[in-house]
Structure 1
């Protein structure tokens, strides 16, 4: 992989987190702020997460050493960073990467990413010039303006087993293709359920995991729980009877 290569968030899915490196900006008497985060991922190497202004940019990049900033303090780089929430997921595989939107009625933009691991998730946010990592943390008034497209308004099961699969639409109208086969669950984003639309830039992998069972059937509720999705209270769910693989 080439340094400074821009990465798609789908490139991160299925990669195991090996180590975390951080860079902190020290200025005057203020508490240090996080400016750069490197996640060292199996088969990808170090991946830099930073915020150009708002939102989060992702690219291949090697961690650098500490440096001074004229009139702007200094930046310290910490390898094997122990005090950031994402370190608790070292050794685990990224199941999903989802965008976080910000909308306060005046401005709207992509504010960051949620990384989903087997034991939980962490949010990486760029709301100002510094990077913010939030795990099990309410961000006060700004929380009401953050949203993720994880709630399903309609689900139609298209196969009852071997594989188990569904067409699904989020509350914002995004189409998702849900599939479970040989113990592997995947979610793909596409413009519509028409497979002729699945080859463009709007298509990407959302989620992937392998539960090690080699199974071909799963309940929708279990699939959604593993994938970090949920049904809207008034969601329309159309199911078909499960297929008994022994029949």
Structure 2
């Protein structure tokens, strides 16, 4: 991996978290604020999460040392940082990376990412020129403007086993391809269910995990829980009709 190389959310999926490094801005008598976060990922190296203005930027980057800022305090860098919630996931593999959007009716932008690990998930947000980690934390009025496209309005099973797979559409109309085979589950985003549209820039991996069973069948409910997806209360769900052995 090349330093300063731009990375994408899908690059993080399937990588084990090895270590966390943080950079904190100290200014006057205020509490220090988190400005940079490096996640050291297996086979990928250190990945810098930072906020150019709003939202998050990801790039390959080695942690730097502490430094002073003229009239703006100083920045300290802590390796193996124990004071951020993401450290609880060290040793675990990133199973899913989901986009978090912000829209208050006037301004809309990609605000951050949800990283899902086997034990639970964590949100990394860049809202106002700073990095905010929100794990099991309600952000008050801001929450009404944050959205993850994880609610399914329509699901159609296309194969019952070996693999178990479904076509699915979120409440915003995004098409997802759900698949489980050899114990591995994946969620892929594509422009539509037409496979001829799957090679463009709108296609990407959302989720990948391996449960170690080498199985080829899974119930939709179990798949959705593991993938971090859910059904809308009025969701349309169609299952594959049973095969008639006499046919």
TM-score of the superposed pair, with normalisation by structure 2: 0.97
Query: Gaps spanning 5+ residues in structure 1: where?
Result: none
1:101-140 deviation line (CA, Å, top 9, x unaligned): 0011111111000000000101000001110000000001
Summarize deviations over 1:118-164 as a string: whole Å, max 9, x none: 00101000001110000000001101110000000000000010000
Residue 175 of structure 2: aligned partner? 175
Aligned residue number for residue 32 of structure 1 = 32
How big is each residue's C-alpha offset from its partner over 1:44-67, in whole Å with a ceiling of 9 and x where there is no partner? 000000000000000000000000
Q: Which residue of 1 aligns with 2:222?
A: 222
In 2, distance between residues paired with 1:200 and 1:242? 35
Q: Helix, strand or coil for the counterpart of 1:112?
A: strand
Aligned residue in 2 for 1:105 = 105
User: Is the 1:161–1:242 contact (alpha carbons within 8 Å) kept by the matching residues of 2?
Assistant: no
Q: Secondary structure at the match of 1:88?
A: helix
Residue 51 (structure 1) aligns with: 51
Is 1:138–2:138 an aligned residue pair?
Answer: yes
| CA apart distance, 1:69 | 0.6
CA contact (8 A) 1:96 1:116 kept: yes
Please list, as runs of the form range in 1=range in 2, the aligned pairs for 1:124-203 lying within 5 A after superposition.
Answer: 124-203=124-203
Q: In the alignment, what sits opposite 1:115?
A: 115
Q: CA deviation at 1:78?
A: 0.3
Aligned-partner Cα distance in 2 for 1:121–1:67 = 32
Give the count of matched residue pairs: 243
Q: Deviations over 1:49-100 (max 9, x none)?
A: 0000000000000000000011100000000010101000000000111110
Mapped to 2, the partners of 1:41 and 1:149 lie a distance apart of 26
Give the distance between the partners of 2:176 and 2:130, measured in 1 at CA: 32
**TM-score, length-scaled by structure 1:** 0.97
Deviation at 1:8, TM superposition (A): 1.2
Runs of 4+ in 1 over 4 A off after TM superposition: none
Q: What is the CA-CA distance between 1:242 and the residue it aligns to?
A: 6.8
Within 5 Å, which residues of 2 pair with 1:69-80? 69-80=69-80
Q: C-alpha displacement at 1:240, in angstroms? A: 1.5
